[in-house]
Amino acid sequence: MAEELVLLRGGVRDGDSTTVQAGVRRLLAASDAPGLVEVYEANGETEHVRGNNQDALVFIHVGQEPAGDLAPELQHSPTPGG
């Protein structure tokens, strides 16, 4: 399946970039706060990320949610700087 480059804006992951499967529009990322995950949603914008040929989809921070039963290995940890 195709992947898309994503740039995170806001929250503790501000400025981090990562790749997701094409079509993903909501991302849960590891949080600094115990028991919580950072929630990011696509906002329809794109932005250039240095070192990449393609523009990244921008995902904005919309809050935090309890991690609940979400297994740690399912929590997405973005790669800083692309």
pLDDT reading at 73 higher than 80? no
Q: Residue 24 domain-assigned?
A: yes
Q: Residue 80 domain-assigned?
A: no
Q: Residue 60 domain-assigned?
A: yes
DSSP string, 23-60: T--EEEEE-SSTTEEEEEEEEEEEE--TT-SSPEEEEE
Task: State the residue range of the domain holding 26.
Answer: 3-70
pTM over 0.85: no
Q: Residue 81 domain-assigned?
A: no
Q: How many domains, in total, are found in the chain?
A: 1
Give the pLDDT confidence of 15-36 residue by residue, as tens digits. 999 999 999 999 988 888 888 8
